[in-house]
Amino acid sequence: MKKLLFTVLICLITAAATAQSAMEPQTAFTKMYLPVWLEAKAHCMEVAKAMPDSLYQYKPTAISKTFGEQMVHIAYTIPLLTKRYVQGMEVKPEVPYAMTMSKEEILMLLEEGFDYTVQVIRTIGQEQLDETCIMYHSGNTVSRAFALFYVQDHLTNHRAKANLYLRMNQIEPPEYTW
């Protein structure tokens, strides 16, 4: 009986260690980058939560996106750009229709988008990070590791716009802490 319990305990410890190592990024770059990404996620989620439900349809001009559309744009482009540039996958944009989504649905979509990229950061290997890709809009050739910065830059651009939407409604944006 003791031998069986010991064997079960060793199996559980091994399984836990294997699960933990799968959660750790696989490269020096991704180990450094993961906290940066998690901070970007936390700040973006704070911005999204700061806007009241009633103002998710707010937009400063007729040609601007609504606040909700800004958040949905961030949410769906995070995995899209990660798949396209970091993972090298062929993907087509499938834009969710923000006008019919609640704040809670948009927050969930944001979480899913960020978490997708967290999983990629944790599992991608150095060989793939060293591959190059051509950025669609600029035509620049960059490493897939560098493409992670592009994904973050894109979300930062739209999050900054969302910050302005908050200010235009006399809402103090969450403090930037990075």
Instruction: Compute the average pLDDT of residues 5-26.
Output: 54
Domain tally, the chain: 1
Q: Which domain holds residue 35?
A: 26-168
pLDDT confidence of residue 16: 42
2 vs 113, residue with greater confidence: 113
Residue 76 maps to a domain: yes
Residue with the two structure tokens 């950025």: 135
Element (H, E) at 167: helix 144-168
Answer yes or no: is 13 within a domain. no
Tokens 């908050």 belong to 166
Domain assignment present for 141: yes
Q: Give the gyration radius of the chain's Cα atoms.
A: 20
With respect to residue 143, please indicate whether it lies within any of the assigned structural domains: yes
**Rounded mean pLDDT, 94-105:** 94
**Which residue matches tokens 């999050």?**
159
CATH number at residue 81: 1.20.120.450
Decide if 12 is inside a domain: no
Is residue 21 situated within a structural domain? no
Average pLDDT, stretch 3-24?
51
Structural domain includes residue 17: no
In a domain, 83, yes or no: yes
Q: Of all helices (H) and strands (E), which one includes residue 34?
A: helix 28-50
Q: What is the pTM of this model?
A: 0.85
